Amino acid sequence: MAGCQTVDNFAGAPEDAVALDAQVQESLGHVRSFVDPFLSATLSKSSRSVPRLHDAIRHVLLAPGKRLRPALTLWAASACGGTWDSAASAAAAVEMIHAYSLVHDDLPSMDDDDLRRGQPTCHRAFDEATAILCGDALQAFAFEILAKGMPKTVAGNACEVLAQAAGRDALVGGQMDDLAAERGWIEDMTDVPASEKIAWLERIHTRKTGALFSAALELGALAAGGSEEQRSALAAYGQSFGLAFQIADDLLDVEGSEVSVGKRVGKDAERGKLTFPSILGIEDSRKRARTLANDAASAISKLGTPAKDLVQLAHWIVSRNH
Ligand code: GRG
């Protein structure tokens, strides 16, 4: 898919989707080479580690994900003139929250999935109780390393930012809304006008996925001591980026292959789930995602060259095939 599309030439993004894909893959590769050893060292076994839990956490956290959230944290830190070292614990913390949410989302009582990041989900590789505990442990661990690793002056603020993004009004609340819609715990939306369905979907996704992206950016800015102006530019980027990501994710569920996406596809339609393509159609969803990517890029144009990776990521997120 990525190979044949033209990407809008906006705020420094290459016109050619193949070149963009190569550049972003390379940049995400740098992030992985920085974050994965940090995660691995953070998870090193101690005499107090419980072997089965330790193995489950490593299975989940070191699996080959894209590391988008750590990338947002590190690139936000760079965009604010900071170093990756200063933002390393924040990058690891957001990935831990993300990994926990995937483990719990895959559970039989939620999405009941067997495949994640191209490998068996945690409850498949281990068992359901271990997967629940693995998610619980990852969530607590995220706050531990954030509290320890952020500069003392901002550690409390950083924990608050992450807690809000992971909590009842964001990640968990969004998941609850999503389940409520799927399981008929809310009013039937069949006859609701499309514009209201879209507004409702946007509210869910802002909570379920957007809030953690925004927190990832905010933590990078906090670690780097970013200015008010830099932080508000990054916040605006995060809002558009989150929705662009979600529309692209919905499109991948319709058009992607299990091998490239690394998880089961076609499940949204199977479950009659409301998604952007099911309401707007494929072409309009794609247009909307591209507009949002442009909005994201334009929100950070004033941050200049240090924000180049974020600009490219926004364009890539809507043209990727995985
Ligand atoms: C269970 C509390 C709780 C929350 C779950 C994030 C979430 C809420 C569920 C994940 C299910 C899902 C597929 C959501 C769609 C968007 C999403 C978060 C996709 C996965 O993120 P990527 O593409 O994954 O960044 P990788 O594996 O590359 O890190």
| Average pLDDT of the chain, as a whole number | 91
d(CA 68, CA 77): 14
The protein residue with its alpha carbon nearest to ligand 1, atom 10, reads 102
Ligand 1 centroid–CA 76 distance in Å is: 21
Cα–Cα distance, 242 to 172 (Å, whole number): 16
139 lines ligand 1 (CB under 6 A): no
pLDDT at 305 > cutoff 80: yes
Q: Which atom, in ligand 1's list, is nearest to the CA of 95?
A: 29
**Among 222, 87, 72, CA closest to 153:** 222
Residue 47's pLDDT band, with cuts at 50, 70 and 90, is confident
For ligand 1, whether the C-beta of 106 sits within 6 Å is no
Q: What is the mean pLDDT of residues 210-225?
A: 97
What is the band of 14 on the pLDDT scale with cuts at 50, 70, 90? low
Give me the pLDDT at residue 172, please. Answer: 97
pLDDT tens profile 307-316: 999 999 999 9
**39-53, 83-97, 161-175, range with the lowest pLDDT:** 39-53
- What residue ranges in 8-147 does DSSP mark as E strands? 115-116, 119-120
Q: Give the per-residue pLDDT at 45.
A: 80
The residue among 258 and 148 whose pLDDT is bigger is 148
Alpha carbon 285 to chain centroid, angstroms = 19
CA–CA distance, 73 with 85 (Å, rounded to integer): 11
User: pLDDT value at position 123?
Assistant: 98
Confidence of residue 210 (pLDDT cuts 50, 70, 90): very high
pLDDT of residue 3 exceeding 80, the answer is no
Distance between Cα 209 and ligand 1 center (Å): 7
pLDDT tens by residue, 18-32: 999 999 999 999 999
Per-residue pLDDT tens for 229-275?
999 999 999 999 999 999 999 999 888 666 666 666 667 767 778 89
Higher pLDDT, residue 14 or 89: 89
pLDDT of residue 1 exceeding 90, the answer is no
Confidence label for 223 from pLDDT (cuts 50, 70 and 90): very high
State the pLDDT at residue 7.
45
Examine the pLDDT at 102 and tell me if it is beyond 50.
yes
Answer yes or no: is the C-beta of 65 below 6 A from any ligand 1 atom.
yes
CA distance 221 to 193: 39
- Nearest-CA residue for ligand 1 atom 7 is 101
Q: How confident is the model at residue 90 (pLDDT cuts 50, 70, 90)?
A: very high
CA angle 304, 305, 306 (to 5 degrees): 95
Which residue among 25, 98, 105, 123 is best mutated to probe the pocket of ligand 1, counting the most ligand atoms within 8 A of its Cβ? 105
Q: What is the mean pLDDT of residues 114-137?
A: 97
Region class of 50: left (phi > 0), else alpha (psi between -120 and 50), else beta: beta
For ligand 1, atom 29, name the residue with the nearest CA: 65
123-152 core/surface letters (b: 16 or more CB in 10 A; e: else)? bbbbeeebbbbbbebbbebbbebbbebbee
Q: Tell me the CA–centroid distance for residue 153 and ligand 1, in Å.
A: 31
User: Hey, how many other C-beta atoms are within 10 angstroms of the C-beta on 180?
Assistant: 12
Q: What is the pLDDT of residue 246?
A: 94
d(C-alpha 124, C-alpha 108), whole Å: 10
